[in-house]
Amino acid sequence: MCGVTGWIDWKTDLRLQERTVHAMTDTLSCRGPDAQGVWLSRNAGLGHRRLSVIDVEGGVQPLVDNPGADEPAAVLAYNGELYNYQELRQELSSLGHGFRTRSDTEVVLRAHLQWGADAARRFNGIFAYALWNARRQELLLVRDHLGIKPLYWHAHATGVLFGSEPKAVLANPLFRAELDAEGIAELFALPAAPTAGHGIFRGLREVRPGHLVTVTRTATREQRYWQLESSPHTDDPDVTRGTVRELLADTVERQLLSDVPLCTLLSGGVDSSAITALAAEAQERAGHGKVTTYSVDFPGSSDRAPDAWRTSLDAPYVKAAVEHIGTLHTSVVVPDDDLLAARDAVLRARDRPGWGEMDASLHLLFREVRRRSTVALSGEAADELFGGYPYFHDPAALAADTFPWLHGRTTPAALLRPDVRAEVRPDEYTAEAYRRSLAEVPRLAGEQGADRRVREIFHLALTRWLPPLLDRVDRVSMSVGLEVRVPFCDHRLVEYVWNVPWSQKAPGGRPKGLLRDAVRDLLPPQVTDRPKSGYPSTPAVRYTEVLTARAHELLADPDSPVFELVDRAAVRRALDEGRPLPSPRTAPNPVGGLDHLVQVDEWLRAYRVSLR
């Protein structure tokens, strides 16, 4: 996986701006520690940082078509993996295309030369890339179907800036770190249901999942190339289970393609265990060795009582899965002090306030994984696809006139100062975002009642709940140069399961019953039937104490920038009364609100964010 960035300008000669394009590219060094490259012309500058995964020697970027020509047809800066690139390469070869490398990057380039913007419809993979058509003087920004790989852009007076992460755009003096009312609303009211395309910073956009953005001298336009379509599901339960198993097995096998060491992330739940078991079967068929697996744990976790979100410890289930599948396993134990030390690295990775200690522990897990592997497969997105979260099964949440995971919860917007709240209007902002989201649901003709509502919930889960999870995994993993692949996000699997009725997805009311039954023969029963248990949060006492002390320091500092947004008196009352602050996360965690408060302050300072 890699980092891409660039600058299009119709008036400035970018051949004289090499230093700035290099500066933009250098901000993405963690995403691509293996190589870097910059390509410049009068109107376009493209930068690339490379994490070598396929064709280590030949996949240098930016990739130029016909590099010896005075004016190449196209130049590509690509971040991603195409899992069907070998089939596409054969098809393109039959159409007369020659290839200089073994990389999937060249397949992307030649696919666009053959099919134009329609090429993206043919891709199966995770990707976000920029293609400069020199002859047409046109930039194309493209993002994968579900938005697994990020890509941001900013339209300035005479062109466009873009990058895999906001930090690349921020490195150009044409863009300033500013926060307006919409950004405040996204940060405080909708951190768990972000608006597609919104980049938090004023004027920063994100290419939406399944979309492409075309930039010419006269116009910038967005176009959707993929979306879910609703149609009647005619397969019976046996065929449905078989199809899910077949699609998932094919996806996992495709995603094992790598020229560098690969592993899986194993939590002991049915999602990651199924991915691991299918990977082990594929490895055995290919004559390769055992699968390497990793999990995360914390000192003292066995002393923590279960709750509605974290229903059981991972360790016993991880052990059962490891013994049954036969993997080479490592449990990464994360102590308090390491969590505290990782906070700044995580903030810099995400370019915005995130999920605090949950981000920090993930960063430390990924850092340890990266010591021996470059690619990891994850069970992310199975709950959104098969209905595993509690809100799918809670009548009150289903009936709520809002995002179901926000039902009955208080967001950090409750802490906004009265004057800020009057301008931001977080309640109205959230309500409008919910209405827009419902309007995007692809309806099935004649579907009514509970079935219609469940379809809405699944669409909300895939388009509003899943994106921040995918963003978190990408940004935190790439901060240590680790590529995480997510087989459950294969668009073919998503398209199929989307139309499976709820009675088959949750037979007998069993959460994720369809998935459990489809992989039952692969796993021990206690793993297959383990109830949903969320990503673990640390029971660390010291972490909470340090953040509490930091919050009191902010209260005592009259120049704390966070209190330009947040009501100082409200925070002081909550701390004095021992009440937890409202958290941006839906998982119960008494330190989540403190984390958010302190991180917002750290972010405003570190990024020198001005308020508009």
The SS3 assignment for 81 reads strand
Count CB neighbours of 429 within 10 A: 20
Q: For residue 234, give Cα distances in angstroms to 230, 231, 238, 496.
A: 12, 9, 12, 11
In this structure, the dihedral spanned by the alpha carbons of residues 165, 168, 174 and 176, taken in order and rounded to 10 degrees, is: 60
Other residues' Cβ atoms within 10 Å of the Cβ of residue 521: 9
First-to-final CA distance of the chain: 35
Active site residue 2: yes
Please compute, for residue 406, the number of CA atoms within 13 A of its CA located in the half-sphere on the CB side. 25
- The SS3 assignment for 332 reads strand
The answer to whether the CB of 514 falls within 8 A of the CB of 240 is yes
Tokens of 576: 């004095």
Look at phi and psi of residue 482 and say left if phi exceeds 0, alpha if psi is from -120 to 50, else beta.
Answer: beta
What whole-number distance in Å separates Cα of residue 370 and Cα of residue 414? 39
Tell me which long-range contacts 508-511 makes (C-beta under 8 A, separation of at least 24).
509/393, 511/386, 511/387, 511/388, 511/392, 511/393
The answer to whether 80 and 30 are in contact (CB under 8 A) is: no
> Cβ contacts of residue 514 below 8 Å, gap of 6+?
240, 241, 244, 386, 497, 500, 504, 505, 506, 507
Euclidean distance between CA atoms 228 and 123, whole angstroms: 16
On whether the CB atoms of residues 101 and 110 are closer than 8 A, the answer is no
Of 150, 149, 248, 246, nearest in space to 487 by CA:
248
φ and ψ at 535, to 5 degrees? -55, 135
Interatomic CA distance for residues 150 and 165, integer angstroms: 7
Token digits of residue 109: 């380039």
Cα of 42 vs its chain's centroid, Å:
34
Closest C-alpha among 41, 49, 47 to residue 9: 41
Q: Which of 2, 30, 263, 489 is catalytic?
A: 2
Mark 63-96 as b/e (b = at least 16 C-beta within 10 Å): bbbeeeeeebbbbbbbbbbbbebeebbeebeeee
* Euclidean distance between CA atoms 142 and 130, whole angstroms: 7
Residues 100/58, Cβ–Cβ less than 8 Å: yes
Amino acid in the structure at residue 78: Y
Instruction: Report the alpha-carbon distance of residue 96 to residue 3 in Å, rounded.
Output: 30
Q: Which residues are marked as active site? A: 2
